[in-house]
A and B are shown apart, each in its own frame.
Chain A
Amino acid sequence: MSRSDVLLMLLAGVTAALAALVAMRADITRARAGKIFAFGALFLLPALSLAAGYSTQMERAQSTRFCLSCHVMTDYGRTLLIDDPGYLPAAHFQNGRVPRDRACYTCHTDYTMFGGVTSKRRGLRHLYVQYLGTVPPPAQIRLYEPYHNRECLYCHEGARTFEEASPHNSAPELRPEMKANRLSCTSSNCHDIVHDVASLSDVTFWKGVTLP
């Protein structure tokens, strides 16, 4: 548990105690000092606690641990450890090209609560399916929309390894097409081995890192 988590719990705990005190002794608000106390205990501090809690929850929702906490995502997490640089997520995770504690969110930035209303609704539906519905096998899970090159280019655009790579310059229109998302990085016979969970039984795993 981090220091900010402890501070959040302390703040919420103290605020809850003060709010409970007002609930048990509402007559203290008859005095002027009591009114000021009630304003702090029933408005200012709760608003601060909620804001801090919201910020913490949103930050946690970006963590690899959060994403892999549902059983169906376990195999997707294991693909990060595959001992083969041809697997795109594994190469990024193992070489530190994405922060390991935020590996999923770095590449899936518009997923569930971080996307639009439709994505948020999908996130709730995922929870429903996880606990009350029929969870599909991991190999049958697909993205709702084709993967957007924007996520790749956020880091790679302008990088020398990207701009000067010979396959990216084999035709003059190639890079403009990629940048306009008309030519997908992940499904144009280029970087097309991504989370291939169906192949997990046939691969070996690198032991150099562990999942957060």
Chain B
Amino acid sequence: MRLLPAERRLEWAGGLIATGLMVEIAVSAWIHPLAFVTFALVACPLVAAGMLFFLWSLVSPR
């Protein structure tokens, strides 16, 4: 099935969020400053970018 541009953005949003959350899970069992930095500098930006892609898909024309 051919996807609409807004749905392409949803694909990106889902991918980014899933990746970010996998990183969050990976560091959540580790008590170390590197775990904190990985969460803050990798997981958070990935999930936030995914959420922004989702919001973008809402306001973009279908």
Given A23-B11, A57-B40, does the pair A9, B1 have CB atoms closer than 8 Å? no
> What DSSP secondary structure best describes chain B's contact surface?
helix
Across the two chains, which residue of chain B brings its CB closest to A39? B54
Once the chains bind, are A46 and B36 in contact (CB under 8 Å)? no
Q: A23-B13, A27-B1, A124-B37 are in contact. Are A50 and B47 (CB under 8 A)?
A: yes
Contacts of B48 in A (CB 8 A): 50
Chain B residues within 8 Å of A43, by CB: 51, 54-55
Residues on the A chain within 8 Å of B17, using CB = 15-16, 19, 41-42, 46
Cross-chain contact A49 with B47 (CB below 8 angstroms): yes
Q: Does A198 contact B (CB under 8 A)?
A: no
- Chain B neighbourhood of A15, CB < 8 A: 17, 21
A38 to B36, CA, bound (A): 29
Q: Which range holds the interface residue count of chain A? A: 35 or more
Q: Which of A1, A16, A30 has the most CB of B within 10 A?
A: A16
A42 touches B29 (CB 8 A): no
Contact check: which of B1, B7, B28, B47 meets A29 at CB < 8 Å? Answer: B7
Alpha-carbon distance A192/B35, docked complex (angstroms): 34
Do B33 and A53 touch across chains, with their CB atoms under 8 A apart? no
- Residues on the A chain within 8 Å of B54, using CB: 38, 42-43
